[in-house]
Amino acid sequence: MASRVAERKPPVIAVTDDWRLLQAQNVYRLLLLALLISLQQAGTLDLLFEDNRPQLFYGVCIVYALAALCILIPALYRRPALNAQALANFALDTGAIVLLVFASGGVAGGLGILAIPPVIAASLLLSTRLAMAVAAMATLAMFGEEVLGHYPNLYSTSNFTGTGVLGITFFITAGVANAVARRARASEALALRVGSEFEDLARLNETVIDTMQTGVLVVDAGDTVRALNHAAARMLHCGPD
């Protein structure tokens, strides 16, 4: 192989997109909680929701915030595996949001849309089957909240219609997000394969040049010798004979 005079810089190990997404989800969760707690303290919830339970709402926000801080640690150390952390994050978000929806008067209050980002985040990180399972669990959780919130008066079709529309939204967003993630991973795998093949061709080219009897010397625009084969080294007396 041709000897290199100018040393290559070592590659920089980048943080994977999946772990960055998980960390971004943690940041989003903390910002959302800061907003909700601020609204609670300002007394805005009474203006936004007709039927609300302020003490329950505030208590859920505090516990949710503490759990959000604790779940930051595994994401920073990347242990356990990504799939397990994605499911744990989804379970935490969905459970807390369902309680917040219950405390704010149900799906009709509008907080049910807060469950969409966790579904999207989980769908981006998990397989297609798990993404659909995540959407189904979020839908069942919302229906369970509506049943619990309106028990024993379960005859209001408007409440369940809105919950059904929200469930359909979960499935649509989960499917689209998972398809986008799969396409991105396929493109990344293709880029890595092409890059590997390019490196193989480059090594083959260097081997061919190095075995030539004709001296070959490569110099860049800054007059730095980038490569030379054995024949050129012998001619210039800068290598073994």
In sequence order, what DSSP letters do the residues of 189-201 get, joined into one string? HHHHHHHHHHHHH
Q: What's the residue count for the chain?
A: 241
pLDDT (tens digit per residue) in 133-150: 999 999 999 998 888 877
What single DSSP character describes residue 225? E
- Using only the alpha carbons of the chain, give its radius of gyration: 29
Residue 12, class by beta-carbon neighbours within 10 Å (0-12 exposed, 13-18 middle, 19+ buried)? Answer: exposed
Give φ, ψ of 90 to 5 degrees.
Answer: -65, -45
Question: Residue 3's beta-bridge partner residues?
Answer: 228
Contact 141, 98 (CB under 8 A): yes
**What percent of the chain is predicted at pLDDT more than 70?**
83
Contact 97, 137 (CB under 8 A): no
Q: How many CA atoms lie within 13 A of 174 on its CB side?
A: 27
Mean of the per-residue pLDDT values for the chain?
80
Q: Note the pLDDT of residue 4.
A: 44
Owner of token pair 């499911």: 87
Alpha helices in 49-127 (DSSP H): 54-70, 72-77, 82-103, 116-125
For the chain, how far is it from start to end, CA to CA, in angstroms? 16
What is the C-alpha to C-alpha distance for residues 122 and 124, in angstroms, rounded to an integer? Answer: 5
Where residue 107 falls among pLDDT bands split at 50, 70, 90? confident
Owner of token pair 């193989």: 200
Higher pLDDT, 59 or 9: 59
Instruction: Report helix, strand or coil for 238.
Output: coil
The count of other CB atoms within 10 Å of the CB of residue 1 is: 12
Q: Note the pLDDT of residue 155.
A: 56
Question: Residue 217's beta-bridge partner residues?
Answer: 228
